[in-house]
Amino acid sequence: MRINGEVYVCCHYVAYFYDAPADATAEELGLLREEAKRHAAERLVQGSSTGELCCLLRDGVECRGWYNIGGFESRGRPGDLTPDEQSLLLYLESRLVDHGGMLQGGPGGAMNGEDFDIAERWHASGFIEFDELSEAEVNRRRGHTHRCRFSEEAWRMAHRLRRLRAEQETSTLIAEEKKMTTSANIV
């Protein structure tokens, strides 16, 4: 039977499938899922985005399949993040740098429900740590409700995204300066 699934490796969406025995147990399906995640993580480091999967189950039964990092919608490069994900990543980075990762949720907070959903998904994948503070800590922290920490991959992606934005901004400024210079020369 065909087993389809998806996992997150850091912030990378990974789609996979296996051809598995029809009587595969829940434990074996979990093993296939973990194997897909492990294999994709190894290949991600090597720069590969797609490849074959092979996993041995009970009695040497071999399950073969395929994985694709990025699945049907890539989240592996800053340019592939949705605008909301880009904004959230850079917001979290600024909160880490300026406020030790302290965040305020709820009314008056800068994060909306979709931001929390993204942060929870990233937390589940290990891309970031995203924890709710205890009531005593909330009171002590003057309304901050959550704390965020970045994985190395999150720091790398935030840096790449900041650099891309800076380069775009620089290009825009250079184009505007050329336009102003040209206009000034015409007058």
Tell me the per-residue pLDDT of 15-58, one tens digit each, with 9 for 90 and over. Answer: 788 888 888 888 988 888 888 888 888 887 777 777 888 888 88
What was the pLDDT predicted at 95? 92
Q: Kindly report the CATH number that applies to the domain delimited by 78-186.
A: 1.10.10.10
What was the pLDDT predicted at 19? 86
Beta-carbon count within 10 A of 92 CB: 24
What was the pLDDT predicted at 94? 93
What was the pLDDT predicted at 176? 67
Is the pLDDT reported for residue 184 higher than 90? no
What was the pLDDT predicted at 76? 46
What was the pLDDT predicted at 48? 76
Tell me the per-residue pLDDT of 130-181, one tens digit each, with 9 for 90 and over. Answer: 988 878 777 777 778 889 999 888 888 888 888 877 877 666 666 666 666 6
Domain-wise residue ranges, the chain: 2-69, 78-186
Tell me the per-residue pLDDT of 52-90, one tens digit each, with 9 for 90 and over. Answer: 888 888 888 889 888 877 643 334 445 567 788 888 999
pLDDT confidence of 98, banded at 50, 70, 90? Answer: very high
DSSP states of 109-133 as a string?
Answer: -S--HHHHHHHHHHHHHBSEEEEEP
Distant-in-sequence, close-in-space partners of 140: CB < 8 Å, separation ≥ 6 = none
Query: Which element (helix H / strand E) includes 147?
Result: strand 146-150
Distance CA 83, CA 76 (A): 14
What was the pLDDT predicted at 127? 80
Summary mean pLDDT of the chain = 79
What was the pLDDT predicted at 173? 60
Who wins on pLDDT, 74 or 5?
5
